[in-house]
Amino acid sequence: MFEQIYTSTKAVRFESGIQPGGLCYLASWDAFFLLNFNKVDKVFRDGTQISMGNPISGWAMGNRQGGRHCWFPYSISPIDCYGADEITGQYNPLGILNPNWKIPAWRAGDYVDDVAGVFLHSVSAGLIKIFRLADGYEVGQVLIPSGPLYDSIAYVSPGQAFAFDKESGKVALIDYLTPTLLWQSKVAPFAAAAFDCRHHLVVTLGTDGKIRIYLCTPVPASLSAPAFSPVGNPYRLAGKKVITTLTGDMGEPCQDYWIHWELLGTPPRGSLLKDKSKTDAQGQAENFYFGPVDTGGEETIKVRVIV
């Protein structure tokens, strides 16, 4: 579960009571573009909402590389996908992102990376397919175990995207160039979600109209027993790397947490290089253990995390 840091007091109003057709973080605005039924709105993080026109009827919104959005006409197939103007958020009639291959199957919230030249389509439960924009060739797919049919795919960084499911709140980070599933996590169920690629935050719009902001670091749920790497016993005074891994409730790594290290023996047998270290992107914190002069006996290493 991602760590939530903010809930807006203001509530975004859904036009005609209908849940929004999409939410996208626009890097140039440092705010969000909301497809709100028959209106388009600019929404700030605190829930301030300003109407800025009407969308073209019968079109849906998708996400685009770099913190932008794009538009699809959903009444026809195969489709052209259009870039959007950064001032008005409206589609750019001459800005077709897939001039060489019309997209035959797609969903609102699908993702276009016109820099890497790929289109990501959420096909079915847990399955995201990746197509080459140049010719429509399927270059790969990401299968997310027990994953839902994702509602939107949003840009995170070059080659990486988050897939969001509003009903379950499930979030999956994928590398679509490799292509692989990096990890999964969760937020509270929502009506629409976006990824703030400037501050690296997941931002959701709840069914209650409130904006919720989550850090991409999951709430720690499990800290593994410290283990030597590579496996084996230390030899006398020679140091040996020891690792512990901090993960969330779905096994996702928890980055940037301080791990406290301690030897429990009285007196301690051997020593630790550091008494604290920080978890990296894989959720791992490392230390070095130096054994005593005599190799016999046992020692216990205790690790703790301060949340």
Partner 1 sequence: MALYPISTKSPCLAYHRWDGVLRPYNQWLVKPPRIYDESLSSLNHFFYDPGADKLVGYAVFSTNAWPGWAVWRYEWEAVSGAFLNRGQANIFAIAWANHAGTGSYGAIYTTWKSGYVISQVKSSNLSHAAGMWEIDPWSWNPQRIFNFAVVNRENKIIAGVGSWFLETWDISGTPFLKGQLRLPQPLGYLAYEDRKHCWVITQKGLIAKANYQIPRWEMLSSVQNPSSDAVNYLCAFDTKRKCLAVFRQRPDGPDGACQCQLEFYYPLYRVAGLTTPVPVSRMRAGDRVRFVSHLYGDTGEGVASYLMYGEILEPASGKLLTPISGAELNGGATFRYRAIAAGMDTLKVSATITDGEGA
Binding site for partner 1 (CB under 8 A): 3, 5-6, 8-10, 28-31, 40, 42, 44-46, 48, 50, 52-54, 56, 85, 87-94, 196, 199, 201, 213, 215, 217, 256
When the beta carbons of 10 and 132 are compared against partner 1, the nearer one is: 10
When the beta carbons of 85 and 275 are compared against partner 1, the nearer one is: 85
When the beta carbons of 39 and 121 are compared against partner 1, the nearer one is: 39
When the beta carbons of 85 and 249 are compared against partner 1, the nearer one is: 85
Amino acid at 199: H
Distance, in Å, from the CA atom of 65 to the CA atom of 133, rounded to the nearest integer, reads: 13
Q: C-beta of 79: minimal distance to partner 1 in Å?
A: 17
Distance, in Å, from the CA atom of 42 to the CA atom of 36, rounded to the nearest integer, reads: 10
Pairing label, strands 111-113, 118-124: antiparallel
- What are 256's strand-pairing partners? none
Q: DSSP string covering 245-286, please?
A: EEE-TTS-B--S-EEEEEE-SSSPSSEES-SEEE--TTSEEE
Q: What is the DSSP letter of 307?
A: -
Residue 114 backbone class (left: φ over 0; alpha: ψ -120 to 50; beta: rest): alpha
DSSP reduced 3-state for 297: coil
Q: C-beta of 195: minimal distance to partner 1 in Å?
A: 13
When the beta carbons of 10 and 241 are compared against partner 1, the nearer one is: 10
- CA 68 vs CA 61, 115, 251: distances in Å: 11, 12, 30
Q: C-beta of 203: minimal distance to partner 1 in Å?
A: 10
When the beta carbons of 54 and 180 are compared against partner 1, the nearer one is: 54
- Decide if 216 contacts 199 (C-beta within 8 A): no
Q: C-beta of 198: minimal distance to partner 1 in Å?
A: 8
Q: C-beta of 204: minimal distance to partner 1 in Å?
A: 14
Amino acid at 97: L
Q: C-beta of 178: minimal distance to partner 1 in Å?
A: 28
